[in-house]
Amino acid sequence: MNKAFFPISVDNKNYSSKNLSALIKIILELDDCRPYFLIADNLQLYNKVKQTNKELSFIVQNFKTKNQYFPERVKWINKVFKRDFPQIDESVFKKWKIKNVSEITDHKFFNIYRSLLILFNVDDEFRNDLSEAAENHTIYESIDSTELQIRLNRLYVLEEIAINLRMRVFNKLYSEYYLGQLPSVLTKIYYEKYSLNIKDLTGKNLSGLDFKFYEGKVEFDNIIWNKINHIC
């Protein structure tokens, strides 16, 4: 079975209904593909803190109460599937895995996250790459690059990396399809460019296995997929 990872970024404008339909088409065209979707719902808390000047306690409690990103995105995927692929039996969709952040932030995730925190404080290259990813995210958002914005973006990317490792390594999802540009700090971890490798971070010995990354660039009505090669 060909299992693949499809992260859904809540704040990424590339994830329109038209582009989701193109993603589903790829899934259906892949040989015996079992997709794993990850709705990055709880990661939006970092963005909510950046977007309002209200008290932090109010922001956190309000987010916990009103966060409906996951059920909304599940309905959205189901709706696009039924609308654009009526010839495909719905039983196919029911076999797909759709997870949210809370479902995978278990003890395995925490062990990865703690190791990444240590790596951030010990490995200069990792720390610099993570900071660069945080600054690039600020540019993407078209907001002023304040120290607070960068710190929150840094935490966002760090947790995003831990989630990615938790999902892909433990579920053996060797291919990832993402609409947009992946942070190089993520791919460099898989290519073992830092002081801790995949086995160190996850406890899983996956030497010799090839993790693939595909970035989707939206051009007019098409999505151009580029495979990320080994990064030096």
- What is the chain's length? 232
Domains of the chain with CATH codes:
2-227 (3.40.50.11710)
pTM beyond 0.85, yes or no: yes
CA–CA distance, 70 with 65 (Å, rounded to integer): 13
Q: What pLDDT does residue 111 have?
A: 97
What separation in angstroms does the CA of 39 have from each of 15, 32, 43, 75? 11, 22, 9, 12
Q: What pLDDT does residue 30 have?
A: 85
Q: What pLDDT does residue 219 have?
A: 81
CA–CA distance, 25 with 85 (Å, rounded to integer): 9
Q: What pLDDT does residue 142 have?
A: 58
CA–CA distance, 146 with 138 (Å, rounded to integer): 9
pLDDT mean by block of 10 residues, the chain; 232 residues:
90 89 90 91 92 89 93 95 94 93 96 98 97 84 76 95 96 92 93 93 83 88 81 44
**Which backbone phi and psi does 90 adopt, to 5 degrees?**
-65, -20
| HSE value, Cβ hemisphere, 13 Å, CA-based, for 96 | 21
Q: Which residue has the tokens 């942070």?
A: 183
CA–CA distance, 158 with 116 (Å, rounded to integer): 7
CA–CA distance, 225 with 101 (Å, rounded to integer): 26
